[in-house]
Amino acid sequence: SFVLTQPPSVSVAPGQTARMTCGGNDIGRTGVHWYQQKPGQAPVVVVYDDSHRPSGIPERFTGSKSANTATLTISRVEVEDEADYYCQVWDIFTDQRVFGGGTKLTVL
């Protein structure tokens, strides 16, 4: 089954670019989705199917994927972007949904 690996933490200064990765074998055969979760709140999808942005999500949020690694990039980081970010996939062989362990983004 899928195992998705995310770095526990990423730190960036306001105005800079944050990059968060999500690695896993066979990640290339399924879409990768990204969620933002702020303390005490439910998660919100910020990128779906590798690189698509839902309506209402700023263009600063972009997703990409290459080989066994997906990346969420936040350009011109703002203080309000500080949150936990999770990647997620659908395992087409088991029909299970799988989350990565999450990355805590700290805006210094």
- Residues forming the site for other proteins (CB under 8 A): 31, 33, 35, 37, 41-45, 48-49, 54, 84, 86, 88, 90, 95-102
Residue that has been written with the tokens 């195992």 in this structure: 3
Nearer to other proteins, 33 or 107 (CB): 33
Distance CA 7, CA 41 (A): 22
Residue with smaller CB distance to other proteins, 56 or 59: 56
Give residues with Cβ within 8 angstroms of 78, minimum separation 6: 14, 60, 107
Report strand pairing: 9-12 vs 103-107: parallel
Closest contact distance (angstroms) between CB of 44 and other proteins is: 8
CB of residue 13 to other proteins, shortest distance in Å: 26
Closest listed residue to residue 62, CA positions, set 76, 49, 77, 72: 72
In the complex with other proteins, the residue whose CB is nearer, 42 or 79, is 42
Least distance to other proteins from the beta carbon of 19, Å?
A: 19
